[in-house]
Structure 1
Amino acid sequence: MLFDTHAHLNDEKFNDDRDEVIQRALDNGVRYIVNIGYNRETIPSCLELAETFPFIYAALGWHPTEAKEMNEEDLDWLRNLMTHDKVVAVGEIGLDYYWDYSPQDIQKEVFRKQIALAKEVKKPIVIHNRDAHQDIVDILKEEKAYEVGGIMHCFSGSWEIAKMCMDMNFYISFGGPITFKNARKLKEVVKEIPLDRLLIETDCPYLTPEPYRGKRNETAYVKYVAEGMAQLKGVEYEELAKVTMENAKKIFHIR
């Protein structure tokens, strides 16, 4: 049984065959999915999916590339939605220095506000980090994010950064890139991280693993991430699936 800890099944790329995609996930051993709503447009459809399918949960937050669009009314809206029984995390939130859509100072302010919200509602956080490793770690420390912990989504940093995050009560999640032939450094990081801190994800429809790289990703393909991770860790696939399932249920407080 597999747990896809990060999906975007409400993305428009699934508009023509969403139900079939979800059924294929079930057929391939996926038993839990956390779907992400990250702005005004995606949060309602994310909640709708979680309400429709018992095994789909929601993480809601404001993506850093959208930070300049967020206001206090949006933050209050998020706060109210956190009482929904299918909402298991605040996310994805963080910093993105690759896309120049929102100024870095605004990204940091919105990031800090959402960490405070997570501590207020006692839910873990899902971190988006692109080219902002040290600033992410510094803000997590300053805002005492270890009080709620969370997930470093689609991790792309060094072992040193991973260790700092684990010391702050964070799990390290990997997706399709660990199956890429040229991802040598990333694979070395996977080997270093203890099994009890690892998670798997797809980030579908993005970051498709081998052997489907270049095509639309979907939750069923999380099994290729699990296979790749099991190989890197030197454990049986079934053990890797079991451990990552337990880890995900623990951080998301799913019984």
Structure 2
Amino acid sequence: MVDTHCHLDMLPQKDIVESVKTLDYLLTIGCDKEEIKKGIELGNKYENVFVAIGYHPYDVGDLTDGDIEELERLAKENPKVIAIGECGLDFYRDKTLKEKQEYFFKKQIELAKKLRKPLIIHSRSADRETEKVLSQYDPFENGGIMHCFGGDERLMEFSLEAGFYISFAGNITYPKADNLRNILKKVPLDRLLLETDSPFLSPQKVRGTQNKPSNIYYTLEFASELLGIEKNKLERITDENFKRLFSLS
């Protein structure tokens, strides 16, 4: 089983060790300067941990173009870095100026295309704005992931056409998440991924506790019942999708 998106550096060591032993692959995300450093260290420490590095929209306030140049250097020098991101737009809390979010979103898109790496996208309360930015760079020959998908059906369809995979987290199990479940049913199986986004968004069965990558199995079980697909089969499908996207044998 693969956890397509987690923040290992935020977890207790015991949860890291358990998850590394339990799962085949984990993609840990560094989305500010400190997390990027820790993510690369974890990738170098554990054979089955890979790394995405980038800047979350909430963390671009103090960025400069020099930070993007440093991101490029780190991506080139560290083989375990297999993606750029998470990056994108988040207008849910308006923590950072929209113009600055968009500027550094574009910079990271350009970097991912330059390095020919997949792009990990964060989009919240910004469906049309995300679509508008991405349309300027379409197509995405190396693909990417719409992480923890929470947009509408139009964004899902646009993302698929642009070359992205759609990843769902534990919040699909929440009682009020009918909209997410309806979109999940419409995603082609060959573009579907699952993630924990741990330590956030624990699945309903363990909601109220800190999430960890090994909880991916709760989300897998829920999605298999929702889609009417045998659990082991859905696991194989999502795992193969991840390996295909990142060219992992």
TM-score range, shorter chain: over 0.9
Identify the residue that residue 172 of structure 2 maps to in structure 1. Answer: 178
Q: Deviations over 1:22-49 (max 9, x none)?
A: 333255x411000000111111101000
Question: Quick one: distance in 2 between partners of 1:145 and 1:131?
Answer: 23
From 111, 130, 133, give the equivalent of 1:136.
130
Unmatched 5+ residue regions in structure 1? none
1:72 aligns with 2:71: no
From 142, 146, 154, give the equivalent of 2:140.
146
Q: Deviations over 1:177-235 (max 9, x none)?
A: 11112211111111111111100000000000021112100001001111111111110
From 57, 79, 83, give the equivalent of 1:85.
79
Identify the residue that residue 8 of structure 1 maps to in structure 2. Answer: 7
Identify the residue that residue 118 of structure 1 maps to in structure 2. Answer: 112
Shift of 1:136: 0.6
Does the CA contact (< 8 Å) of 2:20 and 2:49 recur in 1?
no
Q: Which moved more, 1:136-145 or 1:76-85?
A: 136-145
Identify the residue that residue 61 of structure 1 maps to in structure 2. Answer: 54
Unmatched 5+ residue regions in structure 2? none
**1:40–1:23 CA distance, 2 compared to 1 (3 A):** closer
Question: Quick one: distance in 2 between partners of 1:124 and 1:183?
Answer: 28
Question: Quick one: distance in 1 between partners of 2:49 and 2:202?
Answer: 20
Question: Quick one: distance in 1 between partners of 2:140 and 2:103?
Answer: 18
Question: Quick one: distance in 1 between partners of 2:132 and 2:199?
Answer: 30
Does the CA contact (< 8 Å) of 1:88 and 1:253 recur in 2?
no
CA RMSD of aligned residues (A): 1.2
From 100, 108, 115, give the equivalent of 1:106.
100
Does the CA contact (< 8 Å) of 2:50 and 2:82 recur in 1?
yes
Question: Quick one: distance in 2 between partners of 1:155 and 1:197?
Answer: 13
- Structure 1 runs (4+) greater than 6 angstroms displaced: none
Q: Deviations over 1:117-172 (max 9, x none)?
A: 00100000000011001111111111225233200000011222211110000000
From 25, 33, 42, give the equivalent of 1:49.
42
Identify the residue that residue 16 of structure 2 maps to in structure 1. Answer: 22
Question: Quick one: distance in 2 between partners of 1:71 and 1:180?
Answer: 38
Does the CA contact (< 8 Å) of 1:226 and 1:240 recur in 2?
yes
Does the CA contact (< 8 Å) of 2:172 and 2:180 recur in 1?
yes
Give the structure-2-normalised TM-score.
0.96
Does the CA contact (< 8 Å) of 1:35 and 1:56 recur in 2?
yes
Q: Structure with the greater relative contact order (CA < 8 A, sep ≥ 6): 1 or 2?
A: 1
What percent of counterpart residues are identical? 37
Q: Which moved more, 1:245-254 or 1:138-147?
A: 138-147
Question: Quick one: distance in 1 between partners of 2:9 and 2:134?
Answer: 29
- Could you tell me which amino acid in structure 1 is paired with residue 36 of structure 2? I
Identify the residue that residue 205 of structure 1 maps to in structure 2. Answer: 199
Question: Quick one: distance in 2 between partners of 1:247 and 1:138?
Answer: 26
Does the CA contact (< 8 Å) of 1:119 and 1:145 recur in 2?
no
